[in-house]
Amino acid sequence: MEKLKYETPSIERKEDALDYIKEHYKYNSNINGSGGIQKYLDDYEGWLKKLEEDYNTIPNEEKVPKITYFLVRENDNKIVGMINIRLILNDKLKKLGGHIGYGIRPSERGKGYNKINLYLGLKVLQKYGIKDAMLSCNKDNLASWKTIVSLGGKLVNEFYDDEQYNAIMQNYMIDVDKSLNDYKEIYEPYVSKFNKLK
């Protein structure tokens, strides 16, 4: 598998980022972990400004501070995924949502990229002193919960959510330090030496 890295969204990536989102529409695929870029297809610069505001948000029951990254493949510099990392959880996110939302572009799925995406996301959480990572997923989303389990995720609960998803949702917890230690030999070889964390 190729090496991957995180990249902070920038104006230079405008066309690549829009292409990433448009591919989801082409495949009729859900968009996850995007930091809401799909709402800014005609205002990419506004989205970049929103990301700065997201990072500096004072937490409340409506918003929490968060970071969004592109997941970039090193060999061809292509955006293959995205991740949205919440640095604090409010009561709503503690029930459903958790610390991380992530996704891989439809044409690049099935290659194990989201495991590296989550591994890198855990490294960000560790940098911010977060010991336990909560992740939520649809029970029917086999790829997502298998990714979580592959990094040591333990199922905490599952319930039917009729407010947002109309589906059975699952919440998992990952011991951040333990996961990064236990799976370092497996996933670190696929992390680009150029990976930079905010």
Q: What is the pLDDT of residues 160-193, one digit of tens each?
A: 999 888 999 999 999 999 999 999 999 999 999 8
Residue 195 is predicted with a pLDDT of: 81
Q: Where are the domains of the chain?
A: 4-131
Distance CA 93, CA 168 (A): 16
Distance CA 145, CA 131 (A): 20
Sign of CA pseudo-dihedral 175, 176, 178, 183: positive
Q: What is the pTM of this model?
A: 0.96
Q: What angle do CA 107, 110, 112 make, to 5 degrees?
A: 115
| Tens-digit pLDDT profile for residues 15-50 | 999 999 999 999 999 999 999 999 999 999 999 999
Distance CA 158, CA 134 (A): 13
Distance CA 137, CA 32 (A): 11
Residue 197 is predicted with a pLDDT of: 67
Distance CA 154, CA 142 (A): 15
Looking at domain 4-131, does it have CATH number 3.40.630.30?
yes
